[in-house]
Amino acid sequence: MVKQQANWSPYDNNGGSCVAIAGADYCVIAADTRMSTGYNILTREYSKICKLADKCVMASSGFQADVKALQKQLAARHLIYQHQHNKQMSCPAMAQLLSNTLYYKRFFPYYSFNVLGGLDNEGKGCVFTYDAVGSYEKVGYSSQGSGSTLITPFLDNQLKSPSPLLLPVQDAVTPLVEAEAIDLVKTVFASASERDIYTGDKIEIVVVNATGIRREYMELRKD
């Protein structure tokens, strides 16, 4: 008798894509608002973006139940930090916390693909990109989720520094202005929703800059 494989999985993929782009004094984080399972749509208006701290925002795609649990965990730890240190967590500090939280569940991971965006202590934009178990890196831009394979090559072409082999080393942060970066994000999502069935409905765009956090929406294809 052939060994029986498990036919119940604790995970599900709710689809969706997220993008984050870091600028000189701003950070743009965007995600679509569609939540799906299999070939069905569960809702067209689900927010995948969560504000973790004053200057720190996280967008996650993957299994939204795990994402919700992860967000709660981080919020609780942030509260404890505020009580102990009498200040908000900075973005790099939150980045490390997220990495540790994910690795804590190394052998039963959070099925959550995250991008963390915000301003660092000097007010410069920063983006951190993660895998499901906490490996992270500070980058100038990043995309995760079902549409990431469609989005990343385009961002590479438009934003990537000429070559990491050239000296002097180019800064990963893009020289684009805030409005141009938002424009780029809208184009990228419009294209991704044309070809990825799990991306669509609406985009939620969050911009973090010196004045605070701003939110805007854009309609996408609904099919």
Partner 1 sequence: MAVEQANLCTPQDAAVVRTLRVFRDPHVDRELEPATVLIIITKHVMSSPSLNFQTQISGLILSLSFSGQRNMSNSVIEVPPKGGFSFDLCKRNEMLAKKGVNPPSFRKTGTTIVGLVFQDGVILGADTRATEGPIVCDKNCEKIHYMAPNIYCCGAGTAADTEAVTDMVSSQLQLHRYHTGRESRVVTALTLLKRHLFNYQGHVSAALVLGGVDVTGPHLHTIYPHGSTDTLPFATMGSGSLAAMAVFESKYKEGLTRNEGIELVTEAICSGIFNDLGSGSNVDVCVITKGGKEYLRNHLQPNPRTYTNSKGYSFPKKTEVLLTKIIPLKEKVEIIEGGDAMEE
User: Which residues, in sequence order, are CB contacts of 136 under 8 Å at separation 6+?
Assistant: 95, 98, 99, 116, 128, 129, 130
Is there binding between residue 138 and partner 1 (CB under 8 A)? no
Could you give the CA distance from residue 169 to residue 193 in angstroms, rounded to a whole number? 34
Among 25, 137, 216, 219, indicate the residue that binds partner 1 (CB under 8 A): 219
Could you give the CA distance from residue 126 to residue 208 in angstroms, rounded to a whole number? 10
Instruction: Decide whether 85 or 195 has the Cβ nearer to partner 1.
Output: 195
Type of residue found at 220: L
For residue 55, the minimal CB distance to partner 1 (Å) is 28
Instruction: Decide whether 67 or 203 has the Cβ nearer to partner 1.
Output: 203
Is there binding between residue 36 and partner 1 (CB under 8 A)? yes
Among 74, 198, 204, 205, indicate the residue that binds partner 1 (CB under 8 A): 198
Among 183, 214, 215, 216, indicate the residue that binds partner 1 (CB under 8 A): 183
Instruction: Decide whether 116 or 181 has the Cβ nearer to partner 1.
Output: 181
Among 77, 160, 170, 213, indicate the residue that binds partner 1 (CB under 8 A): 160
Could you give the CA distance from residue 199 to residue 220 in angstroms, rounded to a whole number? 9
How big is the chain by its Cα radius of gyration, in Å? 18
Among 4, 6, 7, 39, indicate the residue that binds partner 1 (CB under 8 A): 39
Is there binding between residue 204 and partner 1 (CB under 8 A)? no
Q: Which stretch binds partner 1 (CB under 8 A): 66-74, 101-109, 120-128, 162-170?
A: 162-170
User: Which residues, in sequence order, are CB contacts of 166 under 8 Å at separation 6+?
Assistant: none
Q: For residue 114, give Cα distances in angstroms to 57, 58, 82, 110.
A: 10, 7, 23, 10
For residue 19, the minimal CB distance to partner 1 (Å) is 14
Measured in whole angstroms, the distance separating CA 157 from the mean position of its chain's CA atoms is 20
For residue 41, the minimal CB distance to partner 1 (Å) is 6
At 181, which helix (H) or strand (E)? helix 178-195
Type of residue found at 128: F
Name the residue with tokens 């608002």. 33
Is there binding between residue 8 and partner 1 (CB under 8 A)? no
Could you give the CA distance from residue 59 to residue 18 in angstroms, rounded to a whole number? 6
Is there binding between residue 45 and partner 1 (CB under 8 A)? no
Residues that bind partner 1 (CB under 8 A): 15, 36, 38-41, 146, 150, 157-158, 160, 162-163, 165-166, 183-184, 186-187, 189-190, 193-198, 218-223
